[in-house]
Amino acid sequence: MRRLGTGRQSGIGCVGIEFETTRARMLQLREHRGELAVAGAARVELKEDAFVDDPRMRSAVSEQLRAAVVSGGFLGRQCVIALPRNEVHVHAVRLPVMPANELCEAAAWEAANRLDLTRESIECDVLCMGGQPDAKERQEVLVIAAARASLESRLDAVLQAGLRPMAVDTHFGGVARVLSRRHRRDSDTDVRAVVEVGDAGSTVLVLRGGKVAFCKLLPIGGQHLDAHIAERLDLDIEAVADLRLAMLDTAGPSVDGATVGAVCDAARVVLSELSRDVMLCLRHFAVGARGARPERLLLTGVHARESGLAECMEATCRLPVLLDDQSQCSEALEAGLPRLLHGAAGPASGWSIAAGLSLRGLERTARRRAA
């Protein structure tokens, strides 16, 4: 018997959990008539050794996550997690065209050799980049691998907290999903470059429609800005981190103009280096790409609004730079996060990864309805 609709199109995403080395961001989105809103949010501060092989430490993390689930307003217990970027190995490689299961196994052995680990100790997946095979019948794929111990420690903590993991994703997978929400997956006409600037590093993506055509992880992020500025200005790194966040918070107290100028001057070297690396990535993509090239560059991530970054990217990469995505997701985050986190959320763009993880649940619901 067919169920009749009520005229209301709504859904609730799963809980997206983005793990960092010392933090976890938890976010849940809901959709009603095509508009997104934040249903639940929490930020959990973790010790750097929170996931060592110690039952007491694991138990403490589980209690923190359980408390966040209770206080964060989350609905349901399904979740999607992403490991810290420094625990995920990502590289592009050309492999012969072969069936999917054989391709994944070949990629796993490639990753094990690069990581100097045994095949049994890693989990691996591949992402086809969408290009045509070359003259030697090899296709370009993105190899994504992580140590099994790293994955299991997070899954154990999440399960003990009462959550039910439905998938493990990557941080750049979450970003791509957020920025492709209104693009058809088979579209090849809208090509965008994306730079996600996180704490421990940055990620350069090229998206064709809703598909990842290029991905490169760069070892420059907010922590490197903090360290460089602290050394130049002879300040503590923690003080610099707080100062930079205060400069980005337009609703908070204003920062002295001379201080802002000194911080911006000190940061310029790092921003120039990051912009140059992004330009080299885009040049590499342009050399090997077939089809359209990026029309614009989107900035996202915790440090996307760093003063002077957009201007430096635009001048170096010679592309229009936008600080907003094309899906209105950032508007939902800016409206909903302060209500749930009471000023402790930080920049809304810093939640783009967790938002993308939550959207995976909405996509699953949409597929079920379509079937």
Q: Check pLDDT > 80 for residue 268.
A: yes
Structure tokens at 301: 């991530």
Structure tokens at 23: 């933090």
Can you tell me the mean pLDDT for 285-303? 85
| DSSP category for residue 35 | E
Can you tell me the mean pLDDT for 49-55? 81
Q: Tell me the pLDDT tens digit for each residue of 127-149.
A: 988 766 776 778 888 999 999 99
CA distances, 232 to each of 235, 263, 265, 274 (Å): 8, 9, 10, 18
Q: Check pLDDT > 50 for residue 47.
A: yes
Confidence of residue 8 (pLDDT cuts 50, 70, 90): very low
Please state the pTM of the whole predicted model: 0.90
Q: What angle, rounded to 10 degrees, do the helices at 257-288 and 222-233 form?
A: 140
Can you tell me the mean pLDDT for 352-359? 95
Selected residue with higher pLDDT from 220 and 33: 220
Q: Check pLDDT > 90 for residue 287.
A: no
Q: Report the share of the chain in percent with pLDDT over 90.
A: 56
Q: Tell me the pLDDT tens digit for each residue of 296-343.
A: 999 999 999 998 999 999 999 999 999 876 556 788 888 899 889 987
308 Cβ neighbours under 8 A, 6+ residues apart:
264, 267, 268, 271
Cα dihedral across residues 321, 322, 327, 333: positive or negative: positive
Mean pLDDT for the chain? 87
Find the range with the poorest average confidence among 45-49, 156-160, 259-263, 344-348. 344-348
The confidence score (pLDDT) of residue 20 equals: 94
Report the alpha-carbon distance of residue 57 to residue 80 in Å, rounded: 22
SS3 call for 338? helix
Find the range with the poorest average confidence among 18-27, 187-196, 250-259, 270-279. 250-259
Q: Check pLDDT > 60 for residue 183.
A: no
Q: Give the residue among 35, 33, 34 at the shortest CA–CA distance from 7.
A: 33
Report the alpha-carbon distance of residue 195 to residue 206 in Å, rounded: 9
Can you tell me the mean pLDDT for 147-161? 94
Report the alpha-carbon distance of residue 272 to residue 316 in Å, rounded: 8
Q: Check pLDDT > 50 for residue 6.
A: no
Distance of CA 187 to the CA centre of its chain: 22
Structure tokens at 149: 């111990």
Place of tokens 């810290």: 84
Annotation: CATH topology of 7-87+148-182+327-371: Nucleotidyltransferase; domain 5 (3.30.420)
Report the alpha-carbon distance of residue 50 to residue 12 in Å, rounded: 30
CA distances, 143 to each of 52, 93, 151, 306, 335 (Å): 26, 7, 16, 31, 36
Report the alpha-carbon distance of residue 46 to residue 84 in Å, rounded: 12
The confidence score (pLDDT) of residue 243 equals: 86
Q: Report the share of the chain in percent with pLDDT over 70.
A: 89
What are the residue boundaries of the structural domains of the chain, listed by start? 7-87+148-182+327-371, 187-325
| DSSP category for residue 131 | P
Q: Check pLDDT > 90 for residue 123.
A: yes
The confidence score (pLDDT) of residue 365 equals: 59
In terms of CATH architecture, what is 187-325?
Answer: 2-Layer Sandwich (3.30)
Report the alpha-carbon distance of residue 116 to residue 94 in Å, rounded: 20
